[in-house]
Structure 1
Amino acid sequence: MHKSVGSAADSAANPSPLSDRLVGYGCALLAVCIWGGWIVSTRHAVHGHLPPATVGWLRFIVPATVLAPAWIKVGLWPRRGLIPFVICFLGAGGLFFLLVANAMRFVPAADVGPLLPGTMPLIVALVSVLVFREWLGTARAIGFIFIALGVVALNGRSLLYPEDGAWVGHLLLLCGAAMWAGYTLAFRRTGMKTVEIVGLVGLWSTVILTPAGLPGVVSAIQEGYGEEVLFQLVMQGVLSGVVALVAFGVAIERLGSSRAAAFTGLVPALAALIAVPALGEHPDTAAILGVVGTGIGVVLASGAFGQGRRTG
């Protein structure tokens, strides 16, 4: 099985399991911090002057270009592990982005965190236990229960009393969470390096989004929204499209699928915090309780208090 960037150096250095886990934890935290900002910036963009396809094009053109040396070595599609790669493409590529970005047109940013990155680790854990026979251990199982309770607390009110059309966004976000879970579970089964997967997903996503996305970029610049385009290019393309995905890939390799996925339970809290100054949204008591519950759950579910058995 391939390691990601620097696998030869890793083997030579022969790092301890603790070192592996610390690197994995650091990469997972970096990824979720970026994704917290991504939710807010995407919500702002699709309600502003950039349609979802345009924002998606800005996200994927950067990894497709920057990581071209990596995916060129693989070719236009992998010779082995094609099915896992297709699952990765569906779970983190252009189709996934369009689904989630359109969902954000129906629901506020506060709903996105609990229903997308909040539920994804629960789906990964369920599949890991039922399909791959992963043993979670008591602490990690309790952690996932806390994450589930946090998700309910964060989003329970909007699910019980949805605004007009909000149920459409909720359904799309849950579908997106299932797709992202598939990416997380299939990632290590591709047999590819992190930069190869991220670059190749970026390439094919750019191809399918260019007909609708590129004209939107040109129009936005002509209408005087060049600064917003540049901001989204950095946020979507550089940070979310390259840095976060590579970091999350390293976290999956070092921690295993379900442990890495557990960290995404922090995204709702981060998104809620960022939304206060950026969107003027202030969390209520239910949101605060949800954030606390989710945070406790991530600490337990990530395996911080026990190594357990890695799968995925």
Structure 2
Amino acid sequence: MDKSVSAAALGGTAAPSLSDRLVGAGCALLAVAIWGGWIVSTRHAVHGHLPPETVGWLRFIVPAVVLAPAWWRVGILPKRGLKPFLVCFVGLGLVFFLIVSNAMRFVPAADVGPLLPGTMPLIVAAISVLFLHERLGVLRAIGFATIAVGVLTLGGRGLLFPEDGAWRGHLLLLTGATLWACSTIAFRRTGMRPTEIVGLAGLWSAVLLLPWGLPGVIDAVSSGYGREVLFQLFMQGLLSGVVALVAYGTAIERLGSSRAAAFTGLVPALAALIAVPVLGEHPDTAAIIGVAATGVGVVLASGAFSGQRR
């Protein structure tokens, strides 16, 4: 067997081909763009008329239904790669969502980007180096360090000097980032397709949340919030729950865990840029430095300038 192929199958460090890099980068950027809006919509939902359990059910029922042909081939429990799938389920399914959505009750939206998608690639890199013996190389190591600087700069005073009670949200977000990082590493080890993993995780999450989620939807519609329910079905369920996760899974397949995870460091910078036209919030000097540092860091950490290993 070709060494580069076997290394890729095991989640090793062989650099992807140019075509894999292009497809993987495109899928990762699509996921990042969706997650930038997901943070805002989730925080708005949990502070509005929908409890986290209801928002979570809306998120997972869509992939459970839309991707039913995919998970039907696998069965309700995968016959192979069960342990890695359980890690993916925890890191992508209801446990992750409930932790993050409850964290948003304690922190402003500006803190979510740096602490969740901002720290996740750093955790993936640390696990890959310490436990999986992945060699990052000088440029990629500099890239991850630059992402860390950018995240801290974007987080600013809110992370260093949190308001009363915000530490609870920060702790929950870091927990969520760790679960997400573990699922990113376990993704390729399941031996399953992204549609199968996302669909099956959505199925089990929707079933477990059914006793709380469905009554919440009925109450919201009865109270005249049907439009908000439809919006969350579209944003949470279709875009974030299906499109973004399948795209991110494809990026992991094409690029590898740490390279794909590096792109999520763009989410805090993207959120800061979106705030200019949408909210009229103009970034200060520190935020501009953070956006630039994060962008440069992602380019380096993703291996864009790394030669293909033979």
> Would you call these one fold, judging by a TM-score over 0.5?
yes
Matching residue of 1:272: 272
Change (3 A) 1:96 1:309: farther
Q: Distance in 2 between matches of 1:119 and 1:231?
A: 28
Give, in angstroms, the shift of residue 278 of structure 1: 4.8
Partner of 1:43: 43
Conserved 8 A contact 1:31-1:245:
yes
Q: Residues 121 and 309 (structure 1 numbering): CA distance in 2 closer, same or farther, change over 3 Å? A: farther
Look up the match of 2:256. Answer: 256
Determine helix, strand or coil for the equivalent of 1:122: helix
User: Is 1:165 matched with 2:159?
Assistant: no
Q: How far is the alpha carbon of 1:281 from its aligned partner?
A: 4.9
Q: 1:60 aligns to what? A: 60
CA distance in 2, matches of 1:55, 1:166: 22
Q: Distance in 2 between matches of 1:173 and 1:115?
A: 6
Change (3 A) 1:29 1:303: same
Match of 1:123 in 2: 123
Q: Would you say how many aligned residue pairs link Structure 1 and Structure 2? A: 295
1:28 and 1:263 in contact (8 A); partners too:
yes
Structure 2: distance between partners of 1:301 and 1:228: 38
Cross-structure match for 2:8: none
Distance 1:46 1:274, change over 3 A: farther
What CA distance in whole angstroms lies between the structure 2 residues aligned with 1:309 and 1:181? 25
Is 1:106 the counterpart of 2:106? The answer is yes
Runs of 4 or more, structure 1, over 4 Å off, are 276-282
Query: 1:109 touches 1:271 (CA, 8 Å); kept in 2?
Result: no
Q: Is the 8 A contact 1:31 1:244 kept in 2?
A: yes
> Residues 195-218 of structure 1: CA distance to partner in whole angstroms, max 9, x if unpaired?
110000000110111111111111
Residues 43 and 109, structure 2, Cα contact 8 Å, conserved in 1: yes
Residue 285 of structure 1: how far off its partner (Å)? 3.0
Q: Match of 2:235? A: 235
Q: CA deviation at 1:279?
A: 5.4
CA distance in 1, matches of 2:116, 2:54: 21
CA offset at residue 19 of structure 1? 1.1
What pairs up with 1:206-221 in 2 under 5 angstroms? 206-221=206-221
Q: Name stretches of at least 5 consecutive residues in structure 1 with no aligned partner.
A: 1-15
Deviation by residue 1:274-299 (Cα, 9 ceiling, x = unmatched): 34455565533322222221111001
| Correspondence 1:63-82 to 2 at 5 A | 63-82=63-82
Query: Which residue in 2 is equivalent to 1:177?
Result: 177
Contact 1:109–1:275 under 8 Å retained in 2: no
Q: Residues 307, 32 of structure 1: CA spacing in aligned structure 2 closer, same or farther, 3 A cutoff?
A: farther
Which 5+ residue runs of structure 2 have no aligned equivalent? 1-15
Deviation larger for 267-276 or 175-184 = 267-276
Distance change in 2, residues 1:308/1:121 (3 Å): farther
Between the aligned partners of 1:185 and 1:55, the Cα distance in structure 2 is: 26
Cα RMSD between the aligned structures? 1.5
Q: 1:266 to 1:122 in 2, by over 3 A?
A: same
Structure 1 residues 141, 46: CA separation in 2 closer, same or farther (over 3 Å shift)?
same
Give the Cα separation in 1 of the matches to 2:208 and 2:245. Answer: 20
Give TM-score, length-normalised by structure 1.
Answer: 0.91
Mapped partners of 1:61, 1:46: distance in 2? 18
Q: Aligned partners of 1:216 and 1:279: how far apart in 2? A: 30
Asked if the contact 2:111–2:159 (Cα under 8 Å) also holds between the matched residues in 1, the reply is: no
2:114 and 2:268 in contact (8 A); partners too: yes
Letter of the 2:55 partner, please give it: V
Q: Distance in 2 between matches of 1:169 and 1:186?
A: 26
Give the match's secondary structure for 2:132. coil
Alpha-carbon distance between aligned partners in 1 of 2:110 and 2:255, rounded to the nearest angstrom:
28
Summarize deviations over 1:90-142 as a string: whole Å, max 9, x none.
Answer: 10101100100011111111100000000000000011111111111111100
Alpha carbons 2:121, 2:265 under 8 Å: kept = yes
